Amino acid sequence: MEFILSDANVFAYLVSRELCTQEEAISGVEQKSAKNFNLLVTLSAGRKLLVKQEPFTGQQEGANEFLREWRIHEFIQRFLELGYISAWLPEVIHFDADRSIIVVNYLTNYRDLAEFYAQENRFSPDIAGAIGSVLAAIHRATLNCQEYQDFFVQDTVSETDQELQLTEGLDRIGPEIFGQVPDDGLKFFALYQRYDSLGKAIAELGHAYQPCCLTHNDLKLNNILLPLDWEKENHLQIRLIDWERSDWGDPAFDLGALIASYLLVWLTSLVVSKSIGIEEALRLAMTPLEDLQPSLVTLMRNYCDRFPEIFELRPDFLQRVMQFTGLNLIKAIQSMLQYQKSFGNTGICLLQVAKTLLCRPEASIRTIFGIEESELTRLIRSANH
């Protein structure tokens, strides 16, 4: 793969695009781990720029994802009434479609939320509540606005294509799969095909997909930034970054992706062994689900507090969120197969939980949140009054 920029020429590129001056000497370039060859450039004045790039092919293949992130920037610039949303977004300052390069201001006073949870192993409901409030505000602000939807339509796939993307790699499993996945991966597809109800639930969920607002579509914990001094802030100002998959989409998918990301903290901490059953493995997790449940309840309560209309428009919204949570766990399994080439006992546990969420969403509410659906609904309603 060929990348245009490296530590040898990135400074000259930034100067040529007037993103910094010749007088601002470069004091360091660090490669950031990612699918693309990202460069973190530190300038002499202390300012940092994150330069993201895709492999250059001359066909602009990589520009599409970056275009979506740049379109979010343009969206806020065009519709000034939504300017307050920019406080929750990355600071994008340059987009080069011809070379598949995008540049953002690197926020030095923030840290990756996934990294924070991994290092601190504490889960304040205040953090999850702030995320829920921000996500709800973005969804609500853009809800069913034809003018906003029209802005994105040139970069938005059709609803039929969106349904196919939801079930990507799951709806057409044939003999060719044997040459595409490792032996461990075949275990996943064998289990998946054994559960006829799972395939039907995913297909039905695809048909139930209802795009109605701006959605992030990749809400993982490592795409959320937490202020370094978050405990001192009166108003916790989180940021949602990497909008490369953003779209005019279904808010239930965003919320499901976020909850799935929290559940992965629990599910990837399992003590797995052939001598330990799945129920026992779930109970012995290094990060118990009980540690996460106060955050999940606060996340949902704050989301609904900021966006009460969603339950009037979608009475089944909570059940759909549970199903999209399950779907995102299956996508996590597919990612494991793609990058780690493995599907062990942890993957089997993920699949079991995903199946329950997709096929029995109402029953899953008690398991995920630690309270009955009626109690969760009561908390939501009390938050809205």
Domain extent listing, the chain? 10-105, 110-383
What is the C-alpha to C-alpha distance for residues 104 and 107, in angstroms, rounded to an integer?
9
160-201 pLDDT, tens digit per residue, is 455 546 656 565 555 555 555 666 666 676 677 777 888 899
pLDDT tens digits for range 315-331: 999 999 999 999 999 99
Q: Provide the sign of the torsion angle of the four alpha carbons 240, 219, 32, 53, taken in this order.
A: negative
- With bands split at pLDDT 50, 70 and 90, how would you rate the model's confidence at 158? low
| pLDDT value for 373 | 81
Domain 10-105 and domain 110-383 have a common topology: no
Interatomic CA distance for residues 88 and 71, integer angstroms = 15
For the chain, percent of residues with pLDDT exceeding 90? 59
Spatial contact of 274 and 348, defined as CB atoms under 8 Å apart = no
Q: Which residues of 248-280 are buried (b: 16+ CB within 10 A; e: fewer)?
A: bbbbbbbbbbbbbbbbbbbbebbebeeeeeeee
DSSP secondary-structure letter at 54? P
The contacts of residue 372 (CB under 8 Å, 6+ apart) are 365, 366
Q: Quick one: tokens of 118?
A: 């991994």
pLDDT at 86 over 50: yes
Say what the alpha-carbon torsion angle 174, 198, 247, 332 is, to the nearest 10 degrees. -80
- Cα–Cα distance measured from residue 217 to residue 220, given in angstroms and rounded to the nearest whole number: 9
Question: What is the domain class of 10-105 according to CATH?
Answer: alpha beta
CB 202 within 8 A of CB 166: yes
Backbone dihedral region of 111: left (phi > 0), alpha (psi from -120 to 50 degrees) or beta? beta
pLDDT over 70 percentage in the chain: 84
CB < 8 Å & 24+ apart, contacts of 29-33: 31/7
For the stretch 255-287, pLDDT in tens is 999 999 999 999 989 876 666 767 777 777 889
Distance CA 243, CA 247 (A): 9
Instruction: Quote the longest CA-to-CA distance of the chain.
Output: 64
pTM of the model: 0.90
Q: What mean pLDDT do residues 366-374 have? A: 89
Nearest to 351 by CA among 294, 270, 296, 288: 270
**pLDDT of 58 over the 80 cut:** no
User: How many angstroms separate the CA atoms of 114 and 265, rounded?
Assistant: 9
Predicted confidence band of residue 144 (pLDDT cuts 50, 70, 90): very high
CB 251 within 8 Å of CB 310? yes
State the Cα–Cα distance between residues 123 and 148, nearest whole angstrom. Answer: 35
Tens-digit pLDDT profile for residues 9-24: 999 999 999 999 988 8
Q: Hey, which residues does 239 pair with through a beta bridge?
A: 225
Q: Which residues contact 183 (CB under 8 A, 6 or more apart)?
A: none
Fold of the domain spanning 110-383: Aminoglycoside 3'-phosphotransferase; Chain: A, domain 2 (3.90.1200)
